[in-house]
Structure 1
Amino acid sequence: MSVKESIERQIVKLPQGEPFTNTRFLRLGSRAAVDKAMSRLVEAGVIQRVARGVFVRPKQSRFVGVVMPDVSRVVEVIAKEHGETIQVHGAEAARRFKLSTQMPTAPVYYTSGPTREICIGKLKVRLVHTSSQRKLQHAGKRPGLALSALWYLGKNNISTEVVKRIKEGLSEEEFETLLSSRMPAWMSEVFRQYETGRVHG
């Protein structure tokens, strides 16, 4: 069986619309053989290339045709491939918690890896390096998203009202996780004021 046939057999078992990288097939042949086979499968329409080294089994919708995978899923796959930790950028995190109406012009993520730009389809995505482990806590989870939003808003723009809004967007358990996170003093202080206000309110 050729490398291409071996890979195709594996691919048909993968869920449609779920991104994957070509490295998962390296045990089936040399890098060059795998790359060539993937290119031929793209040409045949069996798979679609969504970013460099990232592919997907096309998912069809009768309303919009081919459905592209979620950008955050593609970024997660790329980050995992490079052993990086990624976190949604604060501007987008604040918008998701309805703390800001500003729409980032292009998706931005913090990463433990190098700062760079990647193309996902026609979309340019920026990965911005941060060496702060505190900014990458609970990456990919809602408490992490909340921390990202708080860092972005900064010392002068967070209040007990902001904490209240964030709490509304989290489950009890997620809020507890957020409270036990490593934070700068100015952030902890606002949470302390919020908790005190609830006790005395």
Structure 2
Amino acid sequence: MSVAERIKQRVLRMQRGEPFTNTRFLKLGSRSAVDKALSRLVEKGVIQRVARGVFVRPKKSRFIGNVMPEVSRVIEVIAKDHGETVQVHGAEAARRFKLSTQMPTTPVYYTSGPSREIRVGNLKVKLMHTTSHRRLQHAGKKPGLALSALWYLGKDNIDAEAVRRIREGLSTEEFETLRTSKMPAWMASAIENYTQGAAHG
């Protein structure tokens, strides 16, 4: 069986709407053979290219046609492929916890890898290099998202209400993970003050 046939068979077993990278198939053939096979599958409409080297089996919706995977999922797949750790930037994290209504026009992520821009569909995504392990703690999980939001709010904007909203967005276990994370003293005391207040409330 040719490399192209083997790749096609494997692609057809993949879950629709779940992004994957070309490196997944490198055991089946050379880079150029893999890229050529994937390009043919794109031409035939079997898969779609969502970013450089990232593809997806289109998931259909009767309302909007092809449903593209979420940008965050595409970034996770790219990061995993490069052995990077990525974390949602604070502005987006704050929005998800309803601490801000501002929609960042360009999605931004912190990364342990190099700073760069990636096109996902028609969207430009920024990856910003950080050497801070604390900023990348619990990457891809809700406690990590909460840390990112708190850093974004900053020392002067954290109050009991902000911590309450974050607490509401986390399970008891996730909040405990957040409390025991490595963080600056001002952040830890804001969380502790809220916890003690809630206990007495």
Q: TM-score, normalised by structure 1?
A: 0.97
Deviations 1:108-144 (A, max 9, x none): 1111111110001111111111111101111111111
Is 2:13 the counterpart of 1:2?
no
RMSD between superposed Cα atoms in Å: 0.9
| 2-structure distance, mates of 1:66, 1:188 | 44
| 2-structure distance, mates of 1:167, 1:199 | 13
Query: SS of the residue aligned with 2:124?
Result: strand
- What residue is the counterpart of 2:175 in the other structure? 175
* Equivalent position amino acid for 1:63 in 2: F
- What residue is the counterpart of 1:63 in the other structure? 63
160-169 vs 80-89, greater mean Cα deviation: 160-169
- Name the % identity: 74
Note the C-alpha offset of 1:200. Answer: 3.7
* Equivalent position amino acid for 1:127 in 2: L
* Equivalent position amino acid for 1:116 in 2: R
Query: SS of the residue aligned with 2:17?
Result: coil
- What residue is the counterpart of 1:32 in the other structure? 32
Query: Unaligned regions of 5+ residues in structure 1, if any?
Result: none
| 2-structure distance, mates of 1:45, 1:195 | 53
| 2-structure distance, mates of 1:4, 1:146 | 44
- What residue is the counterpart of 1:76 in the other structure? 76
* Equivalent position amino acid for 2:119 in 1: C
- What residue is the counterpart of 1:187 in the other structure? 187
Note the C-alpha offset of 1:199. Answer: 3.7
* Equivalent position amino acid for 1:150 in 2: L
Paired positions, count? 201
Equivalent residue runs for 1:119-134 within 5 Å: 119-134=119-134
36-45 vs 11-20, greater mean Cα deviation: 36-45
Query: Unaligned regions of 5+ residues in structure 2, if any?
Result: none
Query: SS of the residue aligned with 1:74?
Result: helix
